[in-house]
Amino acid sequence: MRTLGIASNLEAVRERIEKATSRAGRPLGSVTLLAVSKTFPPAAIEEAYHAGQRQFGENRVQEFDAKSQHLRLDAAVWHLIGHLQSNKAARAAALFHVIHTVDSISLAQRLNRLAGNTIEVFLEVKLSDEQAKTGAAESELEALATEVRRLDKLRLRGLMTMPPWSTDPEPSRPYFRRLRQIGERLGLNEFSMGMTNDFEVAIEEGATIVRVGTAIFGKRVPV
């Protein structure tokens, strides 16, 4: 249960981001906070927006489609951070400014055909052996990055990953480090990695976007 208001939670998370950025010897402002609003109602998103938050992450196309009908937040930037099925690509292309979960050439090509405006994308990389995790294999990334760069409606920004969840942030560190190494090899320097439980370690390893939900909105509402 949330003990502080969303505005106070946001302030606390931003302070933690600044401290982690400073510890890592990185410039302040080099990490973007993505407020993960999945399962939370439009009112919670509006509260965060009025507290100065502009970047929001959602997991499900259908859920956000329904919520978006009640939101009039002109400066908000909407990110899809959940797995994208190809049959939802048309609606995703219409709803989201940034998609973090492009994991195949076929999905990239479909998004490119359906997009009305340019969509910024991250390639999702599967670095763990967990069957439930999605993402492209490391061996597939060079071809995928080459194809995305060729497509006129997609702009390749970087890589995204999700390590195995743990209450201890340290086991996530090798995954974050590996993602940065892969990105450097591909000429990419933006990395969407780190959540409430491990975002400070992610920042130390080069994250440029951290995806934080629970620390801002409180315990996730079941859907």
Asked if residue 136 is part of any domain, the answer here is: yes
Q: Identify the DSSP state of 24.
A: T
Asked if residue 40 is part of any domain, the answer here is: yes
pLDDT of 2 > 60? The answer is no
Closest CA to 14 of 161, 204, 210, 222: 210
Whether the Cβ atoms of residue 35 and residue 210 lie closer than 8 Å to each other: no
Average pLDDT, the chain: 95
- Residue 219 — pLDDT band, cuts 50, 70, 90? confident
- Residue 125 — pLDDT band, cuts 50, 70, 90? very high
Asked if residue 201 is part of any domain, the answer here is: yes
- Residue 136 — pLDDT band, cuts 50, 70, 90? very high
Question: What pLDDT, in 10s, does the model give residues 181-202?
Answer: 999 999 999 999 999 999 999 9
pLDDT of 222 > 90? The answer is no
Asked if residue 1 is part of any domain, the answer here is: no
Question: What pLDDT, in 10s, does the model give residues 202-217?
Answer: 999 999 999 999 999 9
Asked if residue 222 is part of any domain, the answer here is: no
CATH number of the domain enclosing 87: 3.20.20.10
Q: How many domains does the chain have?
A: 1
Mean pLDDT of 78-95: 97
Q: How far apart are CA 100 and CA 119, in angstroms?
A: 10
Long-range contacts of 89-94 (CB under 8 A, 24+ apart): 89/114, 90/114, 91/61, 91/62, 91/65, 92/61, 93/119
Asked if residue 17 is part of any domain, the answer here is: yes
Q: b/e string for 144-161 if b means 16 or more Cβ within 10 A?
A: bbebbeebebbebbbbbb
Mean pLDDT of 101-122: 97
Domain that holds residue 152: 6-217
Question: What pLDDT, in 10s, does the model give residues 38-76?
Answer: 999 999 999 999 999 999 999 999 999 999 999 999 999
Structure confidence at residue 56 (pLDDT): 98
Which one has a higher pLDDT value, 1 or 35? 35
- ∠ at Cα 117 (115, 121), nearest 5°? 70
Asked if residue 50 is part of any domain, the answer here is: yes
Structure confidence at residue 1 (pLDDT): 35
Asked if residue 223 is part of any domain, the answer here is: no
